[in-house]
Amino acid sequence: MSSSDRRTVLALLALPLAACGFTPVYAPGGPAAALRGSIRPDDPADRAAYAFVARFEDRMGRAGPGAPWALGYRIAVQEVGAGLTPENVATRITLQGRLDWSLRPGGGGDPVASGTTEAFTAYSATGSTTANLAARRDAEQRLMILLADQLVTRLGAEAAALQ
C-alpha cells in the first residue's frame, strides 16, 4: 500500500471521530488541558514516591508552590513470591501496588476527587544478590509508572467535573 493510500485510509477512519465531536482530552481546548501544570503532588518521602511523582510530572507538567490543585497520595507495595522451586524458594517476585489519592484545592480544603488505583509487575529472583536488588528496583520503577499513568487517565476522565 502506498503512503498516499495509507493517508486516505487514516483520513476515512478519522471521519466518524470528527463527526461525533471527539477532542483529545489534553489538546488545547480539551476538557483536561487546564490541568496540565496545575496539580502539585505532595513531596515524595521515599524512592517509590519519587518515581511516582517524577512520572506524574512528566505526564502532567510540574506545578509550582501556588498551584490551584494539590495531590495527596499514599503508596503501598507488597511483595508476593511466585514460581517456587521444590525447596520452596521463590524464583519470581510479584510487586502489587496500590495508590490511594485525593485531589484538593491548592489553598486547602476538602478533596474534590479521590480514588484508588492498583497495578502489579514482577521480576526474576534467580540472579545474584546485586542482580536481584537491581531487578526489584526496576520493577518498582515500572510499578510507579503504571500507577501514575492510571491516575493521569482517571484525572483526564474526571476533568470536566473539576472545572
Euclidean distance between CA atoms 62 and 54, whole angstroms:
9
Catalogue all structural domains in the chain, each as residue range(s) with its CATH number: 34-162 (3.30.160.150)
Percent of the chain at pLDDT exceeding 70: 85
What predicted TM-score, i.e. pTM, was given to this entire model? 0.81
Mean pLDDT, residues 39-60 taken together: 96
- pLDDT band of residue 119 (cuts 50, 70, 90) is very high
Our CA angle for 42, 43, 46, nearest 5°, is 120
User: For residue 48, what pLDDT is reported?
Assistant: 96
